Chain A
Amino acid sequence: MIEDLADRLFAEIAISGAPGWPPGGAGASESWGRLAELGLPLALVPEEAGGPGLDLVEALELVRAAGRHALALPLAETMLANHILAEAGLPVAPGAATILCGGPQDQVSLRRAGSGWTLAGRAFRVPWASVAETLVVVAPGEAGPCVARLEAGAFTVEPGRNLAGEPRDAVLFDTELRAEQVRPAGRAGGPDVVRRRGAALRSLALAGALERVLALTVAYAGERSQFGKPIGRFQAVQQSLAEMAGHVAAGAAAAGGAAEAFAGADLLPIAAAKVRTGEAAGRAAAIAHQVHGAIGFTQEHILHRFTGRLWSWRDEFGDEAEWSLALGTQAVEAGPDGLWPLVTAA
């Protein structure tokens, strides 16, 4: 139900041209206001922490819907940031928020300093950091991971962009925090758990964008005529589109598994989903462009908004190789006799 609502809203935002294309541009704050009015940034926050208390799997459909419309706003990131803040017992963010991706080059150090804390570090490719009012940092602490809540001004940003033009910024911070700005992570988990949940979100977004790319391509194959008939009537094109549909269906199903695994941050279904949606993204984007021909290769055609995201999102929060390695390591540890029990436990 929330998915239908979101679909309508995201479509309106996309049609009005106000999502801020390029991302973060004019109209972005007005569009963000409409999402905030509906409480969407709090979708993953339980009722007692001020959220709507939605079923998590249902709430995560928002991310799939955002992918379906190439929503150029930090909705998924803010949802995850608020989820982490709420799990750690910190106040949710008043506006757009983001989290570190936990990539291998990120460095974070959190130390006690008197009654408060010192937080220092640098992180890369942080989604939407340049527009975020709140930055959530999950740091390994002496007694387990902690969550720190930083306001804009407490961190500096070197802007960057992904292939779809979305902000992916380097972030630097070296700041003193009051005691109440840092809490034990609790169920929010450490940086590795955040990375898993981020991967689950990207899997869902990829599944949404994949759906749309398939729909766009099937529609185009029905409209574009060559040799006196729509190109979708040619068997060669039909076979390509069928192959693409298989990838999109697999991505959609795998992302469903990731949504179910979000709460427990279970490695197997989330890693499988990121690998499968990532692989589907590459193959589906290639077929979509092949079928669209030259017009799909232009800035004026809408296709690149989606394929650009497919090519970017598959790399973010761990690419296929990273998550395949995690799965392969589990498989190797399970050994020949433990492999099937591992697969069926998912």
Chain B
Amino acid sequence: MTEVLNFPPPPAADVRSLRADVRAFLRDALSGRRPRDRARTWTGFDAEFSRELGRRGWIGMTWPKRYGGHERSALERYVVLEEMLAAGAPVAAHWISDRQSGPLLLKFGTEAQRTAILPRIAAGECFFCIGMSEPDVGSDLAAVRTRAVPVEGGFRINGTKLWTTYGHRSHYMILFCRTGSQEERQAGTSQFLIDLATPGISVRPVTDLSGESHFNEVVFTDVFVPSSALIGRLGGGWDQVMGELAFERSGPERFLSSFVLLPELLRSLGPEASERARIAAGRLVAHLVTLRRMSRSVAGLLERGENPALQAAVVKDLGAVFEQELPEIVRGLTSTEADLAAADDLASTLAHLVLNAPSFSLRGGTREILRGIIARGLGLR
């Protein structure tokens, strides 16, 4: 049970000059970008922006230099991530490859996969999407039905992946699929490195409720991949994908999705903000300060080579509550009518977040799944 509460003090290091560099860069690069567009943060896709970050050494920061990385600390990487998110930088293009695909390849990939892919990711030139969910497989990931069948020289893949964010603009997918029988569940799964230009792959956009289409359905029809596309061990997919999810759940993007709204609230309240508004805003600051401490603590655990999957679930669960209540609280303080087309920044940012908030406790593991993981950590299941 104590593991659930194990959030050691975050690592201490002087990151002031790095932070100042990142802030100065973002001030220029994002000047003129409206708050409602900033509110997209890690769902905002801008390939040229990602390439610029690659040039500055801000992707693959902790990876070995021989794979194009920069051998910086986890805390330094954390500083870059949180500055990007707080400023609302469009980081979606490289976000998944930097966060989970690259680290997965670094850990389980073959030398050939690493040398071919990692330097391109670090340069901000190679983008990944996630290949986990399917039409009938969401939270119950062990029920995946997309199947890779061994054939001469490789595998033939058939099936459908769904909710594949930026599948239409990515170069690769890490595919989690079945290589054994359906009854084997976890034990019969593997992961593959899929070049999305391979014949037989079709990508169809799915429009979300706000009218945007950044996620997709990706259909595999008799897709041939060579044996060299296998990542890690045949049948080892489950353990690998769980490790991948620890990366996916632990970062500052799990509580900063609505952050852009908080400065807009202060702008709207002005220096004469009422006591009621100050109390509400101050409470949000208290939550933010605490979540940030917990999240940096997880970054420290990751750096020490520990597996903070449980703590990551705690931070993501609390983070989603915070991200979802922030727009509701702002509504209550400002009486602003949410309007996507409004010239008013608060109204349009609020509209974007109201429409996107439901996804905060779905993507990357639903609230119920996370709380199930926490309950298991408490020894209840």
Contacts and interface: CB of A to CB of B under 8 A. Distances in A.
User: Do A and B form a real pair?
Assistant: yes
B5 interface: yes
A320 B287 CA distance: 12
A282 B287 CA distance: 15
B119 to A, nearest CB: 31
Given A256-B7, A257-B290, A331-B285, A324 B374 contact: no
Contacts of A248: 4-5
A321 B279 contact: yes
Contact of B282 (A249, A257, A324): A324
Given A250-B294, A256-B7, A238 B282 contact: no
Contacts of A320: 283
Interface string A145-169: 0000000000000000000000000
B197 interface: no
Given A276-B290, A324-B286, A336 B381 contact: no
B263 A249 contact: no
Contacts of B288: 343
Nearest to A57: B9
Given A256-B7, A272-B290, A324 B279 contact: yes
Interface string B10-52: 0000000001000000000000000000000000000000000
B315 to A, nearest CB: 9
Given A218-B380, A256-B9, A332 B278 contact: yes
Nearest to A335: B266
B289 A343 contact: yes
A239 interface: yes
A273 B262 CA distance: 20
A325 B283 CA distance: 8
A140 B265 CA distance: 36
Given A241-B378, A242-B374, A252-B5, A328 B281 contact: yes
Q: Count chain A CB atoms within 10 A of each CB in B293, B297, B311 and give the residue with the most.
A: B293
Interface residues of A, number: 57
Contact of A253 (B281, B293, B378): B293
Q: Count chain B CB atoms within 10 A of each CB in A260, A321, A331, A343 and give the residue with the most.
A: A331
A321 to B, nearest CB: 5
A239 B282 contact: no
A45 to B, nearest CB: 23
A215 interface: yes
Interface string B273-285: 1010111111101
* Chain B, interface residues (CB within 8 Å), range: 35 or more
A253 B7 contact: yes
A235 B380 CA distance: 10
Contacts of A272: 285-286, 289-290
Nearest to B367: A239
B248 interface: no
Secondary structure call for the A interface: helix
Contacts of B223: none
B379 interface: yes
Given A222-B379, A241-B378, A252 B371 contact: no
A233 B9 contact: no
A332 B271 contact: yes
Contact of B283 (A233, A242, A269, A275): A275
A275 B379 contact: no
A95 interface: no
Given A332-B273, A343-B292, A324 B375 contact: no
Secondary structure call for the B interface: helix
A120 B7 CA distance: 45
Contacts of B89: none
Nearest to A252: B5
Contacts of B372: 235, 238-239, 242
Interface in A229-281: 232-233, 235, 237-239, 241-243, 245-246, 248-250, 252-254, 256-257, 260, 268-269, 271-273, 275-276, 279
B320 to A, nearest CB: 10
A339 interface: yes
A211 interface: yes
A325 to B, nearest CB: 5
A22 B136 CA distance: 59
A260 B10 CA distance: 11
B1 interface: yes
Contacts of A226: none
Contacts of A333: 271
B289 A346 contact: yes
B95 to A, nearest CB: 20
25 contacts: A214-B5, A232-B380, A235-B372, A239-B368, A239-B375, A242-B375, A245-B378, A249-B314, A250-B287, A250-B291, A250-B294, A260-B9, A268-B285, A273-B290, A320-B283, A323-B286, A325-B279, A326-B282, A327-B283, A328-B281, A331-B285, A332-B271, A335-B271, A339-B263, A344-B292
The 8 A-B pairs at the shortest CB distance, nearest first, are namely A328-B282, A328-B278, A327-B282, A242-B371, A324-B282, A275-B286, A238-B375, A336-B263
Given A243-B371, A335-B271, 8 more contacts: A215-B1, A218-B378, A222-B380, A257-B293, A271-B282, A329-B282, A331-B278, A343-B292
Interface of A: 211, 214-215, 218, 221-222, 232-233, 235, 237-239, 241-243, 245-246, 248-250, 252-254, 256-257, 260, 268-269, 271-273, 275-276, 279, 320-321, 323-337, 339-340, 342-344, 346
